[in-house]
Amino acid sequence: MKGYAMLGIGKTGWIEKERPLCGPLDAIVRPIAVSPCTSDVHTVWEGAIGDRHNMILGHEAVGEVVEVGALVRDFKCGDRVIIPAITPDWGALESQAGYSMHSGGMLAGWKFSNFKDGVFAEFFHVNEADANMAHLPADVDPVAAVMLADMVPTGFHGVELADVQFGDDVCVVGIGPVGLMSVAGAALHGAAQLFAVGSRPVCAEAARRYGATEILNYREGDIVAQVMEKTNGRGVDRVIIAGGDAECTFGEAVKMLKPGGRIGNVNYLGSGENVLIPRAEWGCGMGHKTIAGGLMPGGRLRMEKLAALLQTGRLDTLPLITHRFHGFEHMEEALLLMKNKPRDLIKPVVIL
Ligand code: NDP
Ligand code: ZN
């Protein structure tokens, strides 16, 4: 089978591989619709998780089951499924401790396009199929559902990590597709003032649609000053980080946060040695300004619950999709869009 792969740091291309084998608990899936992620960009062009050779990329997919293992109970060939980016080993101790995304070691629940071939292939393998796939509801558009694999659960996890409460003032730093889902999630969790930081007009427009009360352009001035001015010097209760960098963004978040506030980071810090925290604004270590960061939770239940939000109309992911391609041959073009981030891009989907 063919797949679009990371050949080495900074290099991608098409490769031929054997079709994966299906274990007794597993499934083999043919993708129906896939999307490249900014994480693929960090992995390939920043070498953020180290070198990888001939590893098929991609971890966002909706697909059709083509093979199931003998012990799989709830899925059969021909079923249309949503596959989360994170597919944990559910029996691992880390999973029993509540951190399935770290099953088998830190970040090891993230298998596709990390240390296992991903979904940009004619076929891909899903471990523990009953626990790691969800049926695609008949009334949910598969293209909209691709956003459930990673963008929605990651953006929403930022909201969970920041622990947004009714009436909180919230700032979401970064409004690419992940941050936009943090905006939507914070609005669903009852944010009051909801600041959204970004510069692409297409993202700003989507952020307003998802519930942002104010757009702050980081290219047009210090975002801390902008937040302080708009909150009469009080700052915000919660900050969700879905963009920016290790050097400046955490400092800005700490500065704009009230004592007792929480920062939820879902940004994948692809470069830089240290995360810089400003000592004085962190209350000299005593400010009760909590910084939490996490990989999205995966698994079937999460996918089913998020799909229910699409079914009930509480969430619409289609505004995220600015570019649609038809056919495998467009995989590279779609990935390069995520790398180059043209001004009119939020997220591309490749329909197969
Ligand atoms: P995008 O690149 O599309 O969006 C990044 C956003 O950050 C844009 O709005 C951008 O603004 C903004 N930004 C860039 N620099 C700054 C800055 N200095 N200060 C403030 N804002 C800034 O990324 P995605 O939404 O696709 O992904 C966001 C992050 O989430 C990535 O790092 C990705 O790898 C990560 N991720 C993490 C996962 C997890 O489980 N934790 C899973 C999936 C993704 P502009 O409008 O100018 O472009
Ligand atoms: Zn991703």
- Per residue in 80-121, pLDDT (tens digit) is 999 999 999 999 999 999 999 999 999 999 999 999 999 999
Is 242 near ligand 1, meaning CB less than 6 Å away? yes
Residue-range definition of the domain harbouring residue 171: 152-293
Within this chain, do residues 120 and 214 fall inside the same structural domain, yes or no? no
Ligand 1: nearest atom to the Cα of 42: 34
- Per residue in 288-328, pLDDT (tens digit) is 999 999 999 999 999 999 999 999 999 999 999 999 999 99
Within this chain, do residues 182 and 76 fall inside the same structural domain, yes or no? no
**Of 239, 28, 272, 7, the residue nearest 127 (C-alpha):** 28
CATH code of 65's domain: 3.90.180.10
Domains in the chain: how many in total? Answer: 2
Within this chain, do residues 123 and 171 fall inside the same structural domain, yes or no? no
Percent of the chain residues past pLDDT 90, beyond the cut: 97
Phi-psi region of 16 (alpha: psi -120 to 50; beta: other; left: phi over 0): beta
Unique residue bearing structure tokens 């609005």? 187
Question: Does 48 score more than 90 pLDDT?
Answer: no
- Per residue in 246-272, pLDDT (tens digit) is 999 999 999 999 999 999 999 999 888
Within this chain, do residues 225 and 337 fall inside the same structural domain, yes or no? no
E strand segments, the chain: 2-8, 11-16, 27-34, 55-56, 61-68, 80-83, 124-126, 134-135, 170-173, 194-197, 214-216, 236-241, 257-265, 290-293, 321-326, 347-351
230 Cα to the center of ligand 2, angstroms: 33
Q: Which of 266, 322, 323, 335 to mutate to test the pocket of ligand 1 (most atoms within 8 A of CB)?
A: 266
Does this model's pTM top 0.90?
yes
Q: Is 296 within 8 Å of 310 (Cβ atoms)?
A: no
Within this chain, do residues 9 and 128 fall inside the same structural domain, yes or no? yes
Reported ipTM: 0.98
- The pLDDT of residue 186: 98
Within this chain, do residues 92 and 223 fall inside the same structural domain, yes or no? no
Triad 216, 152, 163: Cα angle to 5°: 70
- The pLDDT of residue 73: 98
Within this chain, do residues 28 and 108 fall inside the same structural domain, yes or no? yes
Confidence class for position 15, pLDDT limits 50, 70, 90: very high
Boundary of a domain, candidates 272, 293, 314: 293
Mean pLDDT of 38-63: 93
Half-sphere exposure of residue 36, counting CA atoms within 13 Å on the CB side? Answer: 32
Boundary of a domain, candidates 293, 312, 332: 293
- The pLDDT of residue 129: 98
Boundary of a domain, candidates 245, 262, 293: 293
Is 203 near ligand 1, meaning CB less than 6 Å away? yes
Q: Which of 171, 178, 182, 349 to mutate to test the pocket of ligand 1 (most atoms within 8 A of CB)?
A: 178
- Positive/negative CA dihedral, 189, 253, 207, 192: positive
- The pLDDT of residue 70: 98
Within this chain, do residues 140 and 176 fall inside the same structural domain, yes or no? no
- The pLDDT of residue 272: 87
Within this chain, do residues 211 and 74 fall inside the same structural domain, yes or no? no
Question: Does 50 score more than 90 pLDDT?
Answer: no
CATH code of 275's domain: 3.40.50.720
Within this chain, do residues 161 and 280 fall inside the same structural domain, yes or no? yes
199 Cα to the center of ligand 1, angstroms: 11
Within this chain, do residues 180 and 156 fall inside the same structural domain, yes or no? yes
- Per residue in 241-250, pLDDT (tens digit) is 999 999 999 9
- Per residue in 169-202, pLDDT (tens digit) is 999 999 999 999 999 999 999 999 999 999 999 9
For residue 31, give Cα distances in angstroms to 209, 255, 350.
30, 44, 10
- Per residue in 143-170, pLDDT (tens digit) is 999 999 999 999 999 999 999 999 999 9
Within this chain, do residues 72 and 84 fall inside the same structural domain, yes or no? yes
